[in-house]
Structure 1
Amino acid sequence: MKTKPVNKVLLSAALLLTSALGVASAGGAAAPTVGGSTGQIQAATPNSVAAALREAGYKVTVNPANPDEDPSLSVTAGDYEIDVWFSNCKGNVCTRVTASSYWDYSDDEDALDVELTNEWNGNYYTQAYIYEGSYYLDTTMVIAGGYTKTALKAWMTEYLDDVSTFEESLDEE
């Protein structure tokens, strides 16, 4: 029986590929798992978001369920009371979470400044708007398919920085 000579370049490439696949399946390239670690994917549910925000040091109240409304939370962060609600929920799994703060100017609606909100919206990712005598500042995070606690915490930290900056701009008016 006569054998063909082995192509050493192809053999080396094949060995390299199989060893890389072995490392990937054994360690770093495996799909993320749902769980408690800050880098692991969390379920996109109101309860998991509430737990992650509590773990990050915020006071969180899960608001009573109302069949006519999206699930929501009340979050206290320092001096700020933040409304948090979920969108497009099916079977308690949601695709988005939104944080919102407001400043009531209903006693002095002449103080509301559309130019201030337009300027803000041109420079920040949070959305400012005026509605029924109040300024609002909102931000939304997509959680479809899950999220990491690290990403949620960073989202809330950035939002609170914007809330503080927006409030300062209101005080300057």
Structure 2
Amino acid sequence: MSNKALLLYSTREGQTKKILQYIDKELHDYQCDYVDLHTMPIEIDFSGYDKVLVGASIRYGHLNKKLYRFIERYKAELKDNNAAFFCVNLTARKEQQGKDTPEGSAYIQTFLKKSPWQPALIGVFAGALRYPKYRWFDKMMIRLIMTMTGGETDTSKEVEYTNWKKVSLFVENWQKQ
């Protein structure tokens, strides 16, 4: 196995990393290295990788500032390596409304306006509700958002909305890239 993939991520409760682990299993011919953008090393050497993927989650309508700092620092390397990007958010559970597409995701449209890096391949995946793991304030705020958007409001539940078939299709497209 000589192919290597660099999987970078920004996550809150771990669903983005879980999606990357699923992608890792789908990449049979690749050895994957993970880098958490919240605790990343000072320098990243992209030269040893055949594929680069960045995944990030939305919290309260925003991607983490560390993601944007990372992109600013490594925009040339991301472009040179034809890196792909995916965003994880709860709004993407509304597939019938197109909220799981780059064109239909307000978060991706904002990302593309703010980011100096414009990835050719972008995925949008529904995340997971982990009510029992949230702090009280987050639990109440997310419950309010779910009430307003017609989602799960029972704070004793955990609900995974990720469409794994959609993730697999993204991986197929990424491997062709």
TM-score, normalization: structure 1? Answer: 0.30
Bigger Cα Rg: 1
TM-score, normalization: structure 2? Answer: 0.30
